[in-house]
Structure formats: structure tokens, C-alpha cells
Structure 1
Amino acid sequence: MKNVNMNPDAKLSFLERFAYGIGDYAGNLVYSAISAFLLVYYTNVIGASAAAAASIIAISKFLDGISDLAMGYIVDHTHSKWGKARPWIARLCIPLAVCTVLMFSVPSAFAGKVQIAYMFLTYNLVSTIFYTGINVPYATMQGLMTMNQYERGLLGNFRNLLATAGTMTINTVVLKMTGFFGGGDAYTQKGWTMTFVVLMIVFIVLNMFMFFVCQERVHEESAEGGQNQVSFIKGLEGLFKNKYWLLMVVSLFAMYFMMSCFFGSAVYFTMYNMGNDGYYAMVSNLLSIAQIVTLFITPFLMKKISKRYLFMGGMAVATVGFVLSGLTTSYSLICLSSVIKGIGFGCGGATMFGCLQDAITYGEWYNGYGTAGMGNAASSFCMKVGSGVGTAALGWILAAGGFDAQLKVQSASALSSISIAFAWVPVITCVICVICMAFFNVDKYYAKVVEDLSQGKHRGE
């Protein structure tokens, strides 16, 4: 008799949902540390050139995106007693932890080209190889744990909530820990090495907890009923035939482009347009707090509203917040706009990855073969490209406005360019997301998709 707990349309326990979310909390112990502190470590601890450090990260972003596609192909062709995606969590969490410690432990004897080579090697071992090797399978697991639309929405909710908690943890503890281990100096090599030894032990424990608690219940099969042996080219071809996957890719690209441009410009906006960089902490934290509160509410909303409409509504709400922030520099109104944006981000963050999994499941039914790994990997590639282009766009916009960091008071055109990056570019990208979701009517087919796939059938059979 089939184990009910392995039902592909299963409702998951709170523990399994939480364990899945813990995976993104653990992931952000690495990802958020890189985003917030790696450049600081390179320049303030080991004295590397800021230009060299930025070049290493920029060049590696392209390699990172290519590795996503490779890992997606590997996941799609993995067959083990633990499933397709889950085994990679256990296999790679220790190598990733070790390499992260090494990345934050550049030997003091290294200088010049040797130092740059060490930085390039360790950064790519972490980001391009091992983080991708865990993150692509992790994203794929959301679609392999259950086909239940509501449960996928909840998994996305737990993922986004705990990812935000992981980011807040890193932002809160890293400099306190480096100061503690550095004997009161937050910028010693010993302090940074010991800090990441501790954080990476936690990282390993949390990933193994997720590995043992979460289960893969959805098993993709080919149209002939055998195991999926889809070529790389055929996998990509199937993705580009799937209009819903394409709509989600455009949405995710727009989201990550917007976040890089918006968050990167926030310090500039408070410093120059509002005239006080001390406002930054409150403006940013209000957004995070509103987002977290919203993420606690979205599971109840998803019982009444589909993920598609909740995503669309969230981006519409965020648009209102961005329009408000583009029309004022009032501290109280900017704080209000942060709360509005946080509510919108909470709705979008809770649903966007669940919508992606539904699109990938539709693609398996439509094409006659599954590409869950490549679907998630190619989406991740577009998110990383969007993030990188968003960061570059911020620089281009500031340069076009004549921004000069040496000036305490910026020109009117420079202030306008900051406002464009902070408010009006995000308005455009949020509207793009709303438009994409207006065409994302996969709900119309999803019951039929699940029923057919449960019987081993595909479109046209």
C-alpha cells in the first residue's frame, strides 16, 4: 500500500514547512554575508583594492549564472534513494561551509596578484560552485515536495520569511562577533575567521536538519513513462515553449533588477535627497518589519486568493509605495512608503517561487517531460543577471545625472538621478510584474495538469 506521507499532492506538516524555510535561513548566512560584508572584509581587513574586489565579484557573476544552468541539468539527471534535489544538500553543505571560512581568511602574507588570485578562487568556489550546487537543488525541492498549490504557496512563504530572518541575523551579529573574537577590534583577521567558523557550523547543522525532515514526493517521468533523460538542449527548448515559465522569468528578472537598483540607492537617497543618512536605518528596517508581518498573514490570504492574484496585488501595492517615495522627501512620508513597499514585497515574496513551481509543473504536462532542475536553474540565472544589471544600472543612472561622491551637496540633476533609481525605476519594474501576472492564468489548467500527471498522462494523451 502506498505511504500516504509520500502522496504527491500531500499537505505538509508545520515541521516540514519550517525545515524547508530553514534551508533559506541557512543559505542567507552565506549569501547575505557576501552581499553585506565581503567587500568590507576585502577593503578594511586585508587592504585589497576596492576596484579589484568589485571586478572579481562582477566577473564571477557571469560564471555564477552559467553554473546555475549546469547544476539544473545535473539535478534533472540525478536519481537516488533520497530523490533528485535533496541529496545535493547533504553532499555539498560541508564543502560550502569550509570554502566560506577560507573566503573570509585571506592569508596576511598574500599581496598583489597572489592575493587577487586567492580572492578569485575562493569567491568562485563559494558562489559559483558550492552555493549554486546547494541553492539550485534547494529551489527545485519546493516543486518536488508536493504538487498541492496551497502547500507550495506556504513553502514559499516560509522560505521568504526565514530568508529575511537570516539576512537580519547576519546584519545584526557579524560585526559584533568579529569584534568579540578580535578582542574589541571588529576588523582583525582572527575575528573574521572565527566568526565564520561559528556561523558555518550553524549552517551545516541547519542544512542537515532540512535534509532529514523534508521529503521529495513528486517524481517526474517522461511521456513514455520511464525516468526523465532529457538532453540539455531539449530541456531549454521545453522551457521556452512554456509561456508561464517565461512570464515568471520576466517577473523574477524585473524583481531582482528592481531590488538591486532600489536597495543600492537607498543610502544615497537618505544622505543626499533627505539630507540625513541617519534616516537610512529606520527607512530600511520599516520595510523589513512590514514585510515580515505580511508574511505571517499571507498563508491566510492564500486560502482566499490565488498566488497569482496575491503576487499581482503585492506588486500593485509596492507600486503605490514607490510612487509616493518619488514625490516627496518628507521623513514621515518616506517611512510610510517603506511600510507600503514592505507589505507589497511580503505578498510578492510569499508567492513568486510557488508560482514558478506551478509553471514548471505545467511545463512537464505541456511538453511531456519534466525539467524542474533546469527550470529553477535558468530562473536563478535570470535573477542573478537581473541583480547584476540592476546594480550596474544604478551606477549608470548616477553617472548620467552627474553624481560626484566628493560633493556634500549634489546638483539638481544628480538628486533627480538618485530619485529615479530609488523610486521611478522600481515603479516600472513593479508594473511589468503586474502585467506578467495578468497573463499568468495557469490556475485555469492546473487541476487538469495535476490529475493527468498523477495518472502518468500528458497534454494530448
Structure 2
Amino acid sequence: MENKLKLSNKVAYGFSDFGNNLVFVAATNYLMFYYTDVAGLSLAATGILFLIIRIFDAFAGPIFGILVDRTQTRFGKVRPWFLWMSIPYAISAVLLFSIGFFPASSRLLLAYITYAVFTICYAGLGTAINAILPSLSADSNERASANMFRNILGQTGGLISGLAILPLVSLFGGTNNSKGFAIGMGIFAIILVLSEMFTFAKVRENVTPEQEKPVPLHQSIKALVPNTPWWVIIITNIIIFIGVVVKNSSMVYFFKYVLNNEQMSSIANSISALAMIVGAITIPVLIKKYPMRSVVVANLGIAVLGQGVLWVAASNLSMGIAMLGVAVSAFGLGAAQSLMFVMTAETVDYGEWKFGVRAQGLLTSVSAIGASIGAGLAGVINSEILAAFKFVPNVQQSASGIMGINICFIYGPALIDAICAATILFYTLDKVSQKMHADLNQKRQLEMKQVFEGNGKND
């Protein structure tokens, strides 16, 4: 069992999220805009679509988690999923932004089909990315370091996606946005496949029980239901992703209609990704000095401060202040979200320590339900708020329409960040983490000794 990871292992793990975010950030930030302003779908229909598919997606994650826990191959239980899911996910991403080629009467149905397939594939790959972290190392600091690379490269993928997608649409589509989005996503899809292949080739699963067998579903549930720290993470994830997706999907509206410069949304997305990278870099250093829970709360406070700066920018129509607000908010949120992945891995160890079951596939995948449910609710919330405030696409907005955009981009996310700072206070693993890891290391050493002695007798 290895605790120390090679640089190549950490970089390879990071590339899993680089390819994932290259595609997913484009979908998160521009799909609602594509549906309303390119494909011509109504706000109401788009909001209902997001909710239904995201709730559907919430069930896909646990199914993949159960499959991961029951997977046994010569490559491991998690690694093969990078290989199996990369190509279907890439194809689904291109199809997602291809409904504009079809007659208007068929686009809503095609949106449901393509978005459903996309979210299923995303759930499969996302499960692999999350589930392998507890197996990379038993050392929480090494996990934090590996997750830092994941966040740095993941946010780099998001940065490139946010910066490049609209220029690619213009370059390859000209005035035909449907063509531009499809080709742009096709380029991202190719890079996604290459990234996941690299991850598959270089990551290794170093932490597994010696006499590992497929985990029965009832045993996995045993490690889930009474796992209080895990419940804190999933509830916080639901809330935080409502804020993240509401804000990200309304960013292009804020710059197009409030600050009257649509192209600057790409710059803002890039600044956001850079700030999240910087936030993630601070985590391995901070958790050596402070409890994880305290670090999350402090960074959510920074995110709220950033939303306050955005309020000043909206009040003064200042592009410079807006960019500062985007950076400050993203720094705090990036650090908080980065650490929550590590905290989820801790809940996997807690399930093994407290209940004797290591169900990393189910626990990490069901934790991701928070992102799915949150994103689904966000789609409805966003569309309902904009509709309630009389937002109309592709025209100069009324004062009411501007207020609706500001609620989605500024006020709502600030409130949600504050609520998350309160919910994460119920996470208590910091108090027992040291003893938990010591006990688990002792248990695994004993298992290794028993296996070695058994092999010696067989010889």
C-alpha cells in the first residue's frame, strides 16, 4: 500500500478532470444560452428540461457507483471506467450542441434525448473521477495534493473552455451559431478522449482491502445510511451547486445585458477558472495548519465577499470591478469545493472504520447526486426567475429584466454561499481523522501480513 504518490500519478489524475471540464463547463455555461438564443427553445421549456433530466441523472450516479464497487478487472475496480466512458461521453457532448441542425418542431424532443444521454455519460465518468481518489493514497495530505492537481488541471480545462468556446463558434460558424457550437464541442470531445486515456494509463489504485471482493449492495448501504459526515457533504453539495450553476449559466446574460459586452463573458469565465486554480493550490498548505471544516467556512466567506464586489460592479456598470468580483468569489468557492472532494474521500474511510465496509463507488457517486440535483433545481430556478422578471432574449432589457439577471448572478449565489457555510459546520470528522487513519493503517498492515502468511503456507 503506497501513501506517497509520484508526480506523474497526480498529473494523470488531474487530466481526468481537465478533459471532463473542457466539455462540462461549456455545457454548464452555455447550454441554456444555446437552447434559448440559438435553438429557440422557450425559457419555461428549458427550465423544466433541466429539472427533469437532472433528477433522472441523480439516479444514474448511484447505479454507476454500485457498478464500480462490483467491478473486478486486472486494471482495478475504478481505472477501467476512464477507458469505458470517455468515447460515449465525447460523442454525447457533440450531439448535445447539434439540435440546432434539426427542424424547430423536433428540437425540444431532441434536447431531452441528447441531454439525458450526456448526463448519463457524465455520471459514469464523474463517478470514476471521484471514486478513485480514496484509492490513490491513505494519506489525507497526499489526497489533498492529488486533488489539487485535479482542480488545477480541471479548472484549466474550464478556463480554456470558457475562453475558447465563443471564438471557436465565431471561427467555424460565422453567423451560423449551430455549426460553430457543434464544431467547437467536437474539438473539445477529441481532447477529452485523449485526456481520459492518459489518466487510465498512469493512475494506480494503491488503497484496497487485501481480500477485496465485490461489495454487496446491502453492505454498501450499511456504510452510507448512518454515515453522518457523508450526509453533511451531500446536503451541502446540493445547496452549493444550485448557486454555482445559477451563477455560471447567468454569467453570459450578466455581461451581455447588464454590462452590454457579451464577449467579455469569455474573459470572465477565464478569470473565474484562474482564481479557482489559485484557491485550490492553497488547500494542501491550509489543511496542514487548520481543520478542514474551518478552511471551507473561511473560503465560503470570501466567496460571499466577492458577490458583494459584483453588486458594486452592477451598481456602477464597471467592467473592472466586475472582473475583480468574479475573481474573489471564484477563489473562495474554488478552494471550498476542492476541499469538499477530499472530505468526501474521508467519509469513505469513515465508513470502513466505523461500519467495516469500504463502499467508495456508492458513497462518492451518491455524493455527486448533490451536484446533479442542485444543477437541476438551478435550471428551473434560473428560468423561473428570469421569466418572473420579464426577461426577453436578444432585446435591450427593462429594469425588471436586469434585476432578474442580478438576482441569478449576484444576490442568490451570495445567499447560497452563506447557507453552505452554516451546513458544513455539522461536519465532524476533523476531530477523529488522526485516530481513524491510524486504525485503518494498522488494519491493512494486519491484512497484508495474513495474506503473506497464507501465501507462504500454500507454497
Task: Give the TM-score range, shorter chain.
Answer: 0.7 to 0.9
Contact 2:162 2:266 (8 Å CA) reproduced: no
Matched, 1:425 2:406: no
Deviation per CA, 1:191-237: give whole Å up to 9, x if none. 6655554433322221111111100111148xxx6635332x55345
Contact 2:79 2:128 (8 Å CA) reproduced: yes
Contact 2:300 2:336 (8 Å CA) reproduced: yes
Partner of 2:363: 375
Superposed, 1:20-419 pairs within 5 Å as 20-38=13-31, 49-50=41-42, 56-104=49-97, 111=103, 117-128=109-120, 130-177=121-168, 187=177, 189=179, 195-220=184-209, 227-231=213-217, 234-270=219-255, 280=265, 284-326=269-311, 329-330=315-316, 331=318, 332-401=320-389, 408=396, 410-411=398-399, 416-419=403-406
- What's the secondary structure of 1:85's corresponding residue? coil
Q: CA deviation at 1:320?
A: 2.0
Q: CA deviation at 1:49?
A: 4.0
Partner of 1:3: none
Question: Which residue identity does 2:197 align to in structure 1?
Answer: M
Aligned equivalents of 2:247, 2:115: Cα separation in 1? 25
Aligned equivalents of 2:37, 2:236: Cα separation in 1? 37
How many residues matched?
440
| Pair 1:113–1:370, CA change in 2 (3 A) | farther
- What's the secondary structure of 1:456's corresponding residue? helix
Contact 1:248 1:356 (8 Å CA) reproduced: yes
Contact 1:180 1:186 (8 Å CA) reproduced: no
Q: CA deviation at 1:277?
A: 5.8
Higher normalized contact order (CA 8 Å, seq sep 6+, divided by chain length): 2
Aligned equivalents of 2:404, 2:165: Cα separation in 1? 32
Aligned equivalents of 1:188, 1:404: Cα separation in 2? 20
After superposing the two structures, state which structure 1 stretch, 325-334 or 66-75, moved more: 325-334
Q: CA deviation at 1:41?
A: 5.8
Partner of 1:443: 430
- What's the secondary structure of 2:428's corresponding residue? coil
Aligned equivalents of 2:170, 2:263: Cα separation in 1? 23
Contact 1:29 1:170 (8 Å CA) reproduced: yes
| Pair 1:220–1:340, CA change in 2 (3 A) | same
Question: Which residue identity does 1:216 align to in structure 2?
Answer: E
Contact 2:18 2:156 (8 Å CA) reproduced: yes
Q: CA deviation at 1:437?
A: 3.3
Partner of 2:453: none
Question: Which residue identity does 2:418 align to in structure 1?
Answer: V
| Pair 1:427–1:123, CA change in 2 (3 A) | closer
Contact 2:160 2:270 (8 Å CA) reproduced: no
Aligned equivalents of 2:71, 2:79: Cα separation in 1? 10
Contact 2:51 2:377 (8 Å CA) reproduced: no
Q: TM-score, normalising length from structure 2?
A: 0.83
Q: CA deviation at 1:362?
A: 0.9
| Pair 1:288–1:118, CA change in 2 (3 A) | closer
Uncovered stretches (5+) of structure 2, i.e. residues with no partner: 445-459
Q: CA deviation at 1:185?
A: 5.6
| Pair 1:159–1:114, CA change in 2 (3 A) | same
Contact 2:92 2:117 (8 Å CA) reproduced: yes
Q: CA deviation at 1:314?
A: 0.8
| Pair 1:187–1:385, CA change in 2 (3 A) | same
Contact 2:71 2:214 (8 Å CA) reproduced: no
Q: CA deviation at 1:18?
A: 1.0
Aligned equivalents of 1:62, 1:452: Cα separation in 2? 38
Aligned equivalents of 1:325, 1:371: Cα separation in 2? 42
Q: CA deviation at 1:269?
A: 4.5
- What's the secondary structure of 1:84's corresponding residue? coil
Aligned equivalents of 1:181, 1:281: Cα separation in 2? 17
Q: CA deviation at 1:75?
A: 0.9
Question: Which residue identity does 1:153 align to in structure 2?
Answer: A
Aligned equivalents of 1:339, 1:274: Cα separation in 2? 17
Contact 1:23 1:206 (8 Å CA) reproduced: yes
| Pair 1:96–1:414, CA change in 2 (3 A) | closer
| Pair 1:364–1:136, CA change in 2 (3 A) | same
- What's the secondary structure of 1:246's corresponding residue? helix
Deviation per CA, 1:136-180: give whole Å up to 9, x if none. 121101111112111111222222222221122223334544555
Aligned equivalents of 1:351, 1:323: Cα separation in 2? 23
- What's the secondary structure of 1:241's corresponding residue? coil
| Pair 1:324–1:100, CA change in 2 (3 A) | closer
Q: CA deviation at 1:118?
A: 4.7
- What's the secondary structure of 1:218's corresponding residue? coil
Question: Which residue identity does 1:121 align to in structure 2?
Answer: I
Contact 1:272 1:410 (8 Å CA) reproduced: no
| Pair 1:113–1:76, CA change in 2 (3 A) | farther
